[in-house]
Structure 1
Amino acid sequence: MTDLDTRMDENEKIDENHAESARRAGKLVRQVRRKRGLSLANLAEKSGLSTGLLSQLERGAGNPSFTTIIKISQALNVPASEFFSGLDEAGTVVRAASRPLLQLADNKLVYELMTPNMHGQIGVVKTELTPGFSNEDAQLSHVGEECTIVLAGRIYISVDGTGYELGAGDAITYNSSLNHWYRNESDEIASLLGAMTPPSF
C-alpha cells in the first residue's frame, strides 16, 4: 500500500467517524428535545440557533461545530459529553485505537475521551486545537474543578475574565463553574489534556 493509499484510507475513516458523530448528535438532540416537550422553534429560541440548522442536525445531515454543541447542550441542560460516540458504560481500559470521540466541524476538531465514560468521579479529555480556534462565543461553565495541561503548542485560556498564556508543560487548575474558554493564537496545533471532577463537561 502506498503513502497515498494510506492517507486516503485515513481520510475515509475520519469522514466515516464524522458522519457517525453527526448521526449520534442528531439523534440525541431529537430525543432530548422531545423529552423536554420542546418544538424546533422552542429550541431555536433557547439556543440562539436557527430552526433550519437544528432540523438539519437532527436528521444527521450536518456536522455541528463546537459552538453549536455547547449552545444546544446548555439549552437542553445536558452535558456536552453526552455527544461522545463509543462510550463504554462498563469499561475500565481505554485503548488508543478505540477512544470515545466527539468530532466537530471546526477544522475537524476532535475530542478524545481518555476515560471509558463520564459517569465516574473523574473525566479526562484530550484534544487538539487547530490554529485560530476559539470558543470565546460559547464559553464553558460546569460544576466542579478542572485541570488543563498543555502537551504541545501554546494556548490562551480565560477563566472568569482573567487571561493566561500557557505553553507546553504548563498546567492550570480552576473552578470550572466559572466561565472559561480557550484560544489558539499560534500557527501550530495545540494539544491539551483536561481532567475534571466530577466529569461535567
Structure 2
Amino acid sequence: MNYNTTIGLKIKELRTEKKFTLKYLSEETNLSIGFLSQLERGMTSVAVDSLAKIAKVLDANVLDFFDYPDEINQSCVTRSYDRKYTVIDSEIIQYTLNKDTFTYDMLPRIQEVMPHKYNEPEEIELYSHEGEEFIYVLEGILTLNVDNNITDLYPGDSAHIKSESPHNWSNNTSKLVKILTVNTPNPLKK
C-alpha cells in the first residue's frame, strides 16, 4: 500500500488551515522546503520519525495521515500473509509484524533494504529521535552508522541503540539486506 498521495494531501490541508508556509514548516521540522513540497504533491515518501515531526508542528497525530479500517482483529497472531507493507522509497520495503500497530508500546518491523543504486557507498544522513531501537540482521550485510562509528553487521548480528544518538543504516552491497527492527516508543501509537 502506498500512502504518499494521501499523506501529502493531508499535510498540505493541515498546513494551509494553520496558514503555515512551507518555509515555516521546514524551519520547525528541519526538513528541506523542496522535500516538503515534493511530499505534499505525493512525489516522495517520508520516514515515520519525520512524519512525527511534521505532525507535532501541525498539532496532529501521526495516525491522522493514514486511512485504516475501523475494525481491528483482536487476535494477537499476525500471519505472514496478513502483514501490512509500505514502500518507503525505491530502496526500502517495510512490513509491520503486528495487526494493531497503534496500541502497543513497541513497533516491530521487517525491513527489506535493496542494494544501493550506485557503485559507491551511500552517504546516509544521520538522525535522532526519542526512545530505543533494536536491529537484528536476518540476511545480507547492513552498514550501521551510530555517532559516525560505522560498522558492518552480518546475519545473526544485532545492535541496540539509544535513539537520541545520531544514527542510520544502509545497504552498500549488491544483494538484498533483510533486518528485524523494533522501536520504542511506537511512533504510531494512539
Using structure 1 for the length normalisation, give the TM-score: 0.69
Q: Which runs of 5+ in 2 are unaligned?
A: none
Task: Report the aligned-residue RMSD.
Answer: 3.3
Mapped pair 1:111 → 2:89: no
Q: Distance in 2 between matches of 1:64 and 1:87?
A: 22
Counterpart of 1:120 in structure 2 is 104
Structure 1 residue 173 displacement after superposition: 0.9
Q: Which amino acid aligns with 1:190?
A: V
Alpha-carbon deviations, 1:117-165, whole Å to 9, x = none?
143121101111111275722x332222221000000011112232221
Q: Distance in 1 between matches of 2:82 and 2:16?
A: 31
Match of 1:152 among 113, 118, 139: 139
**Closer, same or farther: CA 120–71 of 1 in aligned 2, 3 Å:** closer
Structure 1 residue 89 displacement after superposition: 7.6
Q: Distance in 1 between matches of 2:130 and 2:71?
A: 22
**Closer, same or farther: CA 102–88 of 1 in aligned 2, 3 Å:** farther
Q: Distance in 2 between matches of 1:170 and 1:85?
A: 36
Q: Contact 2:136/2:156 (CA < 8 Å) preserved in 1? A: yes
Counterpart of 1:136 in structure 2 is 124
Q: Which amino acid aligns with 1:25?
A: I
Taking only the aligned residue pairs, the percentage that are identical comes to 23
Structure with more relative contact order (C-alpha pairs < 8 Å, separation 6 or more) = 2
Using structure 2 for the length normalisation, give the TM-score: 0.72
Which has the larger share of helix?
1
Number of residue pairs aligned between Structure 1 and Structure 2 = 176
Alpha-carbon deviations, 1:79-119, whole Å to 9, x = none?
9x756775878444433333233323334x21111122143
Q: Distance in 2 between matches of 1:173 and 1:30?
A: 36
